[in-house]
Amino acid sequence: MVYRACCRCWFLASVALTLSQLTTIEGQISLSSVPCGQQQQQRIVGGLDSSRGQITYIASLTKRGGHYCGASIVNERWLLTAGHCICSGTNKVLRPNQIRAVLGLYRMSELSGNRIDPVTDPAYDVGIRTIVPHPGYTCGKTSNDIALLEVTERIYFTPTVRPICLSSGSDASARVDGVTATVAGWGWQQENRQLGDKADTLQRAVVDVFRNEECESMYRRGNRSRTIARTQLCAGKSVGGIDACWADSGGPLVTSNNVLIGIVSTGIGCARPGFPGIYTRVSEYAGWIVTVIERFNARR
């Protein structure tokens, strides 16, 4: 299922991508013509303000000028987000022209409607041309919670706008268990939205990645039994206090070597003790991501 917006032809040369041209190093995939994962140097509860230019691979997805989800920059033409971020209701998918993506954004207060003031901030926004949810995803469900967004114009990389490397392969999936990773976003800073607000400054938080079996055990102890699928992973703090939250959905979970391993997906509340956040496991979808991008490149 693919949803496309009508738009003028792109006059910029496209970046050709074939399986043989992919850069794959130690379980990482780079789908961009520039090095991925380089930085300057759902929902985030218990996080810290990031530094300007510290997290360069994140995009803010907006509807009617307001932030509602996160996404990750994959290459010059594609963003990766959660499947539920492209849904409007249980069985309805948003139209591409209902979403815009803001790149290089640091503070939400620097965003005016759908436009950025270039004098005060180097961020800029782009439209969405095509929405490609995973074929196994259904709005309102948590399985296969992943989608690709093709932008209407080529992304120009700057010191504050860079692509992220993707985790790939079963070996890479196994290696993330037990590591620490960073989740980022502009989501709510506490679970009760009536008592708080979304973050103005881009937040980041360091969380622990748990084995799926360990995560299931924690949920059972909290009397909220659930199965964590192979295509998912859990991350947070066993004692709670640090987690993604509302409006961080679709955002990145990244290892210390700047590899995207997870997409903010679901969970129970925000930062509750014994209930880590549940993420889409990116490595399980690496083949699908490459296939979709390759297919669209071949059509140009």
Amino acid at 80: L
CA separation for the pair 265, 146 (Å, rounded) = 9
Contact (Cβ atoms closer than 8 angstroms) between residue 298 and residue 287: no
CB atoms within 10 A of CB 22: 16
Tokens of 78: 């594609």
Contact status, residue 196 vs residue 45, Cβ threshold 8 Å: no
* Residue among 104, 81, 92 at smallest CA distance from 282: 81
Q: How many CB atoms lie within 10 A of CB 221?
A: 11
Q: How far is CA 122 from CA 53, 156, 260, in A?
A: 10, 12, 24
Secondary element (H or E) of residue 232: strand 232-236
Q: Which residues contact 259 (CB under 8 A, 6 or more apart)?
A: 27, 28, 37, 164, 165, 166, 167, 172
DSSP string over 132-200: EE-TT--TT--TT--EEEEESSPPPPBTTB---EEE-HHHHHHHTTT-EEEEEES-BSSS-TTT--B-S
Could you give phi then psi for residue 148, rounded to 5 degrees? Answer: -105, 145
- Annotated active-site positions, please? 84, 145, 249
